[in-house]
Chain A
């Protein structure tokens, strides 16, 4: 009980620190140039954010399910023989700059007819899926590489072919909590490269019009969301040794 209360207090203190960091950034540069061609009220900015949120959640959820399924399958006993191969592949993918991978695959998949180069792909479900496929694929590649890297780290620590002292599901959760900021960065880049109408592209749109205040608000929300995710994972796994807890 006391441990749980300590965890709660620790997370609350971290949340306060997150808000203070953003205030420090806003305060430090408050005298600089803030002119924006966007004349937007706070309510309008929030309404836009909520409008695009489902598409971002959709993209992240689909790619996470694909990547974690592939990651979980690759550490099961039957895949033991190809594990070094998977590791090598993940290391190679890690070294390609992600923005380059996203733009190159956008062009390549577009030329191969697997990604609509212009337009929305069609109003029906099939058109929506054809639009979703390429960005979800690219984001899944990124997450798969992170998952393999994390599992490799955990597997090396334990002598057995299992994450040390934790279930596979717990390990995947801890990985998700640890790498969520990087996944969100990759989501922004993917959405820009594929013109996916989500919050990452909205963030980019705000910045390209020098509308920094809504962009800062989105960043603050993102950081608090990451913290909440880490808190949930720490509560669910309930292990002090878990990385999710150590990070928060």
Chain B
């Protein structure tokens, strides 16, 4: 099991490095913010749709004649980079308050646990956009992305605090924490995309995978590629992190299962069973 989760970690890291390289390469040919000189008012189609009309834009251009592939590249750097910063913030906040709750005495634990439980009652995305609204002037252009990431990290930290502060078996902290972090990475990507989509986050013309979809309802029938490719990128990013999360959590779950069967029957029967047939 340890073998499996470490293999998963290596695979995930390799894929992440590869994807980041692709995202940077995507911007070599076209500037993500520049408008194509061939643009005549209608978006250019992707090359696999119409090889002649695409003028070298592999995934076509958007409603303003900007290269979709280059925008996906820059947008991916920003979306994934900011999500990574947010998840690191979350782990830092969760680990410090979790440790305080675990080792800091009873009244401190009670206070931290109550505040964490209270925070987990707030719906994350509405709370985030309310904070953006009160913290910035009505133009909504002043929220620095790093502050967005930090606030999101605070709002999502209760789960990590709970895992570190209240785990029965200290050996479960690392796998359960990794699982939560991978899950939250996927969640953060989705939440930041939603915030950008509704124009509360990073503002155009800076591309992110979320704000590239901002006009998707209007563009769907004119330029479906501008509405579909960022969504595919988001889908794959979230999917890959969900899969890594599933794998990390396997180690923790199997240990819990072994512990349960060990406690109940006095021997670990669960270990001998093949992995897939447990439920049958």
Contact = CB atoms under 8 A, between A and B. Distances in A.
Interface in B121-173: 121-127, 129-131, 133-138, 162, 166
Given A100-B213, A161-B279, A21 B119 contact: yes
Nearest to B237: A95
Contact of B138 (A33, A91, A156): A33
Contact of A248 (B117, B124, B135): B117
A16 B129 CA distance: 23
Interface string B166-199: 1000000000000000000010001001100110
Interface of B is mostly: helix
A234 to B, nearest CB: 11
Interface of B: 110, 114-115, 117-127, 129-131, 133-138, 162, 166, 186, 190, 193-194, 197-198, 210, 213, 216-217, 220, 231, 234-236, 238-239, 242, 253, 256-257, 260-261, 270, 278-279
A14 B134 contact: no
Contacts of B117: 14, 17, 247-248
B279 A155 contact: yes
Contacts of A32: 134-137
Interface of A is mostly: helix
A244 to B, nearest CB: 11
Contacts of A33: 136-138
A16 B270 CA distance: 44
B239 A95 contact: yes
Contacts of B127: 219
Contacts of B242: 91, 94-95
Given A97-B190, A103-B216, A212 B121 contact: no
Given A92-B239, A159-B261, 20 more contacts: A13-B114, A17-B114, A17-B117, A18-B121, A25-B130, A29-B131, A32-B135, A95-B239, A97-B190, A99-B198, A100-B213, A104-B220, A107-B220, A188-B123, A189-B194, A216-B134, A219-B130, A227-B118, A227-B121, A248-B117
A103 B217 contact: yes
A190 to B, nearest CB: 12
Contact of B234 (A92, A97, A216): A97
Contacts of A18: 118, 121-122
Most B CB within 10 A of own CB, among A34, A35, A185, A215 = A185
A185 B231 contact: no
A94 to B, nearest CB: 7
Nearest to B240: A95
A182 B155 CA distance: 13
A10 B114 contact: yes
B141 to A, nearest CB: 12
A230 B121 contact: yes
B134 A157 contact: no
Nearest to A204: B198
B197 A99 contact: yes
A13 to B, nearest CB: 5
B134 to A, nearest CB: 4
B121 A181 contact: yes
Contacts of B122: 18, 21, 181, 219, 222-223, 226
Nearest to A216: B130
Interface string A142-160: 0000000000000111010
17 contacts: A18-B118, A18-B122, A29-B131, A99-B197, A100-B234, A107-B220, A155-B279, A159-B270, A181-B121, A182-B123, A189-B125, A207-B129, A212-B133, A219-B122, A223-B122, A226-B121, A248-B117
B69 to A, nearest CB: 19
Contacts of A215: 126, 130, 133
A181 B120 contact: yes
A216 to B, nearest CB: 6
A186 to B, nearest CB: 9
Contacts of A64: none
A184 interface: yes
A8 interface: no
A74 interface: no
A98 interface: yes
